Amino acid sequence: MTAEFFGLHGQSWSDVLQLAGHFALLSVLAVGGAITLASEMQRYLVVEHGWIDALQFNASIAIAQAAPGPNILFVALLGWSVAGPAGMLATMAGNMLPSSLITFGVGRLRHARRDALAVQAFSVGLAPLTIGLLVATGWVLALPLVQHPLSMLLVPATIVFMLKTTRSPLWMIALGALAGALGGA
C-alpha cells in the first residue's frame, strides 16, 4: 500500500513507526492518564520533530476535551495531524496497548496483595507524581497564551474560583470563551 493511500501527510512509514514507538514508551509512563504526558508529547511532536505547531497541538487537545467521549481522543487527533489515518492508528495503538497490558497485570497483582504495605504505599505515592505531570501539562498548554495577559490572569483566577467555591467549572470555561471571543485570548 502506498503512503498516499494512507494519507501520511508527507511522513514516511519510518516516521509512523517512530511515532508508535514513542507513544508506546509514553504509555508506560502515563500515571494518571495520557493527558499527564501532554508536555512530553508536545516536546516530541512540536519541538523535536516540528511535525505540528503549538497551536495545532493545543487545538487537538481542546477539540478532544470538548467532544463527547473519552479524554484519550486527543492522542488520536495528534496522530492524525502528524500522519493522517496511519498516524492516528500509530498513536492510539502505541498509547493503549502497553498501558492496558500493564494495568491488567498490575490490577491482578494488586487485588491479590491489596493488604500488603508496599502495595498501599505505591498507590499513595502515585498521587504526587500525577499532580506534577498535570502541572507540567498545564504549563505547556498555557505557554502559547503568554502574549495574552487576560489569558494568563484567567489561570490563577480559575484556581482561586475552584478552591473557594463549589460552583461549576463551566462558569470559568464560559469566561475563558468570552475572553477568546473578545480577542483577549
pLDDT in tens, 120-133: 888 788 778 878 87
Does residue 57 have a pLDDT over 90? yes
Based on the fold, state whether residues 116 and 160 are members of the same structural domain: no
Based on the fold, state whether residues 101 and 160 are members of the same structural domain: no
Based on the fold, state whether residues 178 and 167 are members of the same structural domain: yes
The pLDDT value recorded for residue 74 is 92
Question: What integer is the mean pLDDT of 165-184?
Answer: 83
Least confident of 2-11, 37-46, 55-64: 2-11
* More confident call, 77 vs 111: 77
Domain count, the chain: 2
pTM of the model: 0.65
Quick check: is 27 in a domain?
yes
Domain range for 76 is 13-143
Based on the fold, state whether residues 50 and 135 are members of the same structural domain: yes
For the beta carbon of residue 15, count every other beta carbon within 10 angstroms: 20
* More confident call, 159 vs 145: 159
- Alpha-carbon separation of residue 77 from 19, 90, 130 (angstroms): 13, 11, 23
Does residue 9 have a pLDDT over 80? no
Quick check: is 103 in a domain?
yes
Quick check: is 49 in a domain?
yes
